């Protein structure tokens, strides 16, 4: 099988982690090739995610690289076993590689932390709000936009089911104020935000204007947590080409940034308090206030 030209994020990440372990063990690519009774080009392609590595061969490499039993060993073995197939395959005709990678990463994350400064996060959007955002930002034709809306709605399934993912979002107040669609679209969207925020696995905090220009307030990012910190990932949204980061130091930086955002943001929506009886200054009251000002 010839090397693939566009490996998925999972395939790239598995290869990158193998390269880290090989370098840490002080082994060259040629020495790794001897372990698998292969040539140097095969090791290069595995580490670039261009070809797959079987579980037996991966097991052999991990042992020779000195990777101990535990979450990292198990996590890498699981990544090699996964075929990258899932519900997102139904949308390959409409969505790019980056979007499909995002859905796959969401499906296998144990927890997700997000900062969004301008829009309600896609995981919380109504169909009407999502449609308006997609048409405004991507300029797609109607049929393609509908496929994109369907994809975004399907991604939301990680929030419910038998094993819902833990999700913590810090949303800037600007996202509550920017008019997306008409009044009806915005009112329904803010009501939906309150509804989702009441799920036991979801935490929503609003970052108010009065907290000023914190360093991250204009930069959307998502932290994906795996079973072991070594496999955590950061996703940076860019208009033309979003980026996935797997470097531990960079991930730590974004984790600290997120913690600072949670400290500056208002207290999260309390699922035990109904909107009608709420009068304290926190995230729920600010969402209510924005909704009633529409």
Taking only the tens place, the pLDDT of each residue in 97-147 is: 899 999 999 999 999 999 999 999 999 999 999 999 998 877 667 888 899
Q: What is the pLDDT of residues 69-84, one digit of tens each?
A: 999 999 999 998 876 6
What lies within 8 Å, CB to CB, of 26 at 6+ separation is: none
Q: Are 214 and 258 in contact (CB under 8 A)?
A: no
> Among the CATH numbers 3.30.870.10, 3.60.20.40, 3.50.50.100, 3.40.50.2000, which is that of 87-292?
3.30.870.10
Residue 195 bridge partners (DSSP) = none
- Cα separation of 120 and 181, whole Å? 13
Q: How confident is the model at residue 3, as a pLDDT?
A: 82
Q: How confident is the model at residue 142, as a pLDDT?
A: 82
5 falls in which pLDDT band (50, 70, 90)? Answer: confident
* SS3 annotation, 93-104: CCCCHHHHHHHH
First to last CA, the chain: 58
- Cα separation of 32 and 58, whole Å? 11
C-alpha dihedral, 153 to 157 to 179 to 289, nearest 10°:
150
Q: Helix, strand, or coil here: 205?
A: strand
Question: Given CA atoms 45, 47, 51, 53 in this order, what sign does their dihedral have?
Answer: positive
Q: What is the chain's mean pLDDT, rounded?
A: 90
pLDDT for residue 25 is more than 80? yes
Q: How open is the CA angle 254-126-157, to the nearest 5 degrees?
A: 65
Q: How confident is the model at residue 195, as a pLDDT?
A: 95
- Cα separation of 237 and 35, whole Å? 39
Q: Are 51 and 88 in contact (CB under 8 A)?
A: no
Would you kindly state where each structural domain of the chain is located, as residue ranges? Answer: 9-81, 87-292
Q: Give the mean model confidence (pLDDT) for residues 262-288.
A: 80
In CATH, what number does 9-81 get?
A: 1.10.260.40
What's the token pair of residue 4? 């693939």
Q: Are 142 and 260 in contact (CB under 8 A)?
A: no
pTM: 0.91
What lies within 8 Å, CB to CB, of 191 at 6+ separation is: 291
Q: Which residue has the tokens 């995230």?
A: 283
Q: How open is the CA angle 239-84-96, to the nearest 5 degrees?
A: 25
Q: How far is CA 47 from the centre of its chain?
A: 23
Weakest mean pLDDT among 24-38, 107-121, 233-247? 233-247
Report the 10 Å Cβ neighbour count for 216.
19
C-alpha dihedral, 262 to 239 to 4 to 26, nearest 10°:
-40
Residue 212 or 14, more confident: 14
- Cα separation of 273 and 19, whole Å? 50
């Amino acid at each position: 099988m010839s090397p693939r030209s566009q490996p998925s994020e999972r395939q790239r990440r598995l290869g990158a982690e193998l390269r880290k372990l090989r370098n840490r063990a002080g082994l060259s690519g040629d020495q790794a090739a001897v372990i698998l009774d292969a040539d140097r080009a095969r090791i290069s392609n595995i580490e670039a995610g261009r070809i797959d590595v079987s579980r037996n061969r991966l097991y052999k490499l991990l042992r020779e690289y000195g990777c101990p039993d535990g979450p990292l060993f198990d996590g890498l073995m699981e990544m090699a076993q996964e075929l990258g197939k899932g519900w997102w395959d139904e949308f390959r005709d409409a969505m790019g590689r980056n979007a499909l990678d995002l859905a796959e990463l969401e499906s296998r994350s144990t927890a997700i932390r997000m900062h969004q400064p301008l829009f309600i996060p896609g995981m919380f959007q109504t169909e009407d709000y999502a449609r308006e955002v997609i048409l405004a930002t991507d300029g797609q034709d109607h049929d393609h936009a509908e496929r994109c809306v369907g994809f975004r709605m399907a991604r939301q399934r990680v929030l419910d089911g038998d094993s819902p993912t833990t999700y913590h979002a810090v949303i800037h107040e600007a996202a509550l104020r920017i008019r997306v669609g008409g009044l009806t679209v915005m009112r329904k969207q803010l009501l939906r935000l309150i509804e989702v925020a009441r799920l036991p696995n979801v935490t929503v905090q609003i970052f108010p204007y009065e907290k000023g220009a914190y360093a991250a307030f204009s930069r959307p990012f998502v932290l994906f947590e795996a079973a072991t910190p070594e496999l955590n990932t950061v996703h940076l949204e860019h208009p033309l080409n979003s980026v996935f980061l797997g470097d531990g130091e960079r991930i730590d930086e974004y984790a600290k940034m997120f913690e600072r955002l949670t400290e500056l943001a208002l207290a999260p929506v309390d699922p035990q308090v109904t909107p009608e009886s709420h009068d304290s200054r926190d995230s729920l009251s600010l969402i209510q206030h924005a909704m009633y000002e529409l």
